[in-house]
Amino acid sequence: MGIAFFKKIIFDKEYLLFELLKLKKSLEIEFLNQSYKPKPKSVKFKFRSFLLTKNISFFFNSNNLELIELIECLLKRRFSKFKRKGVKIQIENINDNNENNIPEFFSNLVSFNTLLEKVDSNLIVQGSYSDNTFLSYSDLDLVIIGHLSKEVIKIKEAIEKELIKIDPLQHHGVFFINKNSYANYWQADLPIETLKKALYFSHKRKLEIVLDNVFSEKYSSYYFILSFINNYKNFPLKLDSGAFFAKYFVSQLLLLPALLLAFKGNYIYKRESFSLAKNLYSVEAWRTIEIASKIRSQWNQKEISNSYVETRKKIANKKVKEYNILKSVIELNDVELQGIHESYVLFLSETRGLIKEK
């Protein structure tokens, strides 16, 4: 939190918007993770929050729900420049995904949704399990749309225990969208085009969502991309890399094309982002994405050890003991994997150049 931070929040209103949205999301996540015994808010956190909101409540009030409401009021009043008219979205039920291809475990998730509906919340699935293109590799991308409550916390934790059983290598838990955010929706939560293709865990009902306004900002995509570049300056995978880490890294890498387009103001469905982003890169740099896609398509989840399920206690924990190596779940050879290093460095270089064009 240096001079650059002060300058940005004073002179760059889009950056201030991003920081407030990020602060609101962090408070929501902390509330949802209450049973994980979150650390007390630091003086630095309180001071930073005070600078962003100009409200002294952050020093004396530890009630996340009240602090979130405070930020929501600020977002409603101060950032009309970054709002565009929202949309009405009707999310179809899971039977519309072709009844013959519905995974067996969906029935359990319908039961969780029934519990969520009792507290005015809902469970949806987005990504490859919603558009019927899921592979052995695919994460199960679940989203709770609802209100922050103790009941939602308990149901979310129960779903995440089920998630580890379904996919022992699942690297993220259930996402959450606060219904209070409908008035001023942040697409970093979930792009509208992705929401449109989601499915609702009901056999009969559909779910209607009315987003009054949508925020347009680029910093959330920019910082995710920059963080990835700084964390993985060289291609980190080898054939003896752990399977959990390999899947986590490949998933993050394959998200970059969609984030790059979002940075440029084009929020698009992830699957459709590859053909558009490809035109922004050289052939050699794009080879990185092609190899990552090959790892994804070759992935054989049946080879994954059940020991992952037995040892993973919390889905949010990224320190996972490995029982499989990459070589045991894909057929990629050493030559193909070794050849990616130069392409990967070039891909990062070209990506850095594209986000500096702002």
What local confidence, expressed as pLDDT, does residue 341 receive?
92
Q: Which two structure tokens, joined as six digits, stand for 175?
A: 């996402």
Q: Are residues 205 and 254 in the same domain?
A: no
Q: Are residues 260 and 285 in the same domain?
A: yes
What local confidence, expressed as pLDDT, does residue 16 receive?
96
Q: Are residues 43 and 95 in the same domain?
A: no
The closest of 71, 65, 55 to 32, measured between CA atoms, is 65
DSSP 8-state assignment for residue 101: G
Residue span of the structural domain in which 10 resides: 3-78
Of 179, 196, 215, the position where a domain reaches its end is 215
C-alpha–C-alpha distance, residues 267 and 248, integer Å: 23
Q: Are residues 211 and 223 in the same domain?
A: no
Q: What is the DSSP string of 13-64?
A: HHHHHHHHHHHHHHHHHHHHTGGG-PPPPPHHHHHHHHHHH--THHHH---H
Helix (H) / strand (E) element for 278: namely: helix 270-278
Of 215, 250, 272, the position where a domain reaches its end is 215
Number of domains in the chain: 3
Q: Are residues 205 and 95 in the same domain?
A: yes
> Do residues 209 and 145 lie in contact, with contact meaning Cβ atoms separated by under 8 Å?
yes
> Do residues 58 and 46 lie in contact, with contact meaning Cβ atoms separated by under 8 Å?
yes
Helix (H) / strand (E) element for 274: namely: helix 270-278
Order of strands across the sheet that contains 207-210: 175-178, 141-146, 122-126, 199-200, 88-93, 207-210
pTM of the model: 0.93
Q: Are residues 8 and 136 in the same domain?
A: no
pLDDT in tens, the chain (358 residues): 678 888 899 999 999 999 999 999 999 999 998 765 556 788 999 999 999 999 999 999 989 999 999 999 999 999 999 999 999 999 999 987 666 677 888 988 999 999 999 999 999 999 999 988 999 999 999 999 999 999 999 999 999 999 999 999 999 999 999 999 999 999 999 999 999 999 999 988 899 999 999 998 999 999 999 999 999 999 999 999 999 999 999 999 999 999 999 999 999 999 999 999 999 999 999 999 999 999 999 999 999 999 999 999 888 787 899 999 999 999 887 777 878 999 999 999 999 999 985 5
Q: Are residues 198 and 223 in the same domain?
A: no
Sign of CA dihedral 22, 255, 339, 296: positive
> Do residues 45 and 78 lie in contact, with contact meaning Cβ atoms separated by under 8 Å?
no
Q: Are residues 90 and 126 in the same domain?
A: yes
The closest of 86, 79, 108, 106 to 95, measured between CA atoms, is 106
Q: Are residues 38 and 127 in the same domain?
A: no
C-alpha–C-alpha distance, residues 284 and 288, integer Å: 8
Q: Are residues 65 and 115 in the same domain?
A: no
Beta bridge partners of 122: 145
Of 169, 185, 215, the position where a domain reaches its end is 215
Q: Rounded to a whole number, what is the distance in angstroms from the first to the last CA of the chain?
A: 23
Q: Are residues 207 and 124 in the same domain?
A: yes
What local confidence, expressed as pLDDT, does residue 130 receive?
92
The count of residues in the chain is 358
